[in-house]
Amino acid sequence: MENVLMADYEETPLFDVDILAALDMSEAQVKFAPGFTWQKPNEHLNVRPLSSGDYERGYIQLLSQLTEVGHVSQTDFTARFQSMKMCNDTYYIIVIEDSSINKVIASSTLVVEQKFIHSTGKRGRFEDVVVESGYRGLQLGKSLIEISTALAKYIDCYKVSFECKEKLVKFYSRFGYEEDGNHYMVQRFHN
């Protein structure tokens, strides 16, 4: 993948854009429509890491289509972005930007845990997959799942997992994911 977008402006990506360029997508589990490429789904859509300027491109508004976000100011965004960036090899947020309107329209997150088990291995957790409502049905969610899965493999995670609603199990199984019999327990302290 060429650095289509990152070369165009002076912003900080959350992780090295060359990592996306190095991904081997030949093992993708699902097929895409003819002409669709995961690197550049169309002439205006670019796949890249979250950037320090994405607050202004609607990243927080996009997340609100997934869950309650609360009030996040630009200062809050910048502080969290810097905090995540300082955790080397931990946070991989992938976005798709519609460059024709300068807006982030899809995103997914891969969080990597450093472990002592599995010979000091790494475990990936896949979270926060969201596609702007007006862009659904364009295979962008499928693309983000495949990219995140390939990324977890590339950075040598021994496994990658995620939580999903029962009604989505069949959908995610198309990507090679399977139920492992574990039940995730949650205790919420606030929204």
185 has pLDDT over 80: no
Q: In 78-184, at which residue ranges do the beta strands (DSSP E only) sit?
A: 91-98, 103-114, 122-131, 157-161
Q: Is-contact 140 96, C-beta < 8 A? A: yes
Taken in order 49, 154, 25, 160, the sign of the CA dihedral is negative
> Where do we find the tokens 């896949």?
126
* Interval 99-148: pLDDT, tens: 999 999 999 999 999 999 999 999 999 999 999 999 999 999 999 999 99
- Rg value, the chain, Cα: 16
CA distance 115 to 119: 8
Which residue in 4, 84, 100 sits closest to 50, CA to CA?
A: 84
Q: What is the pTM of this model?
A: 0.88
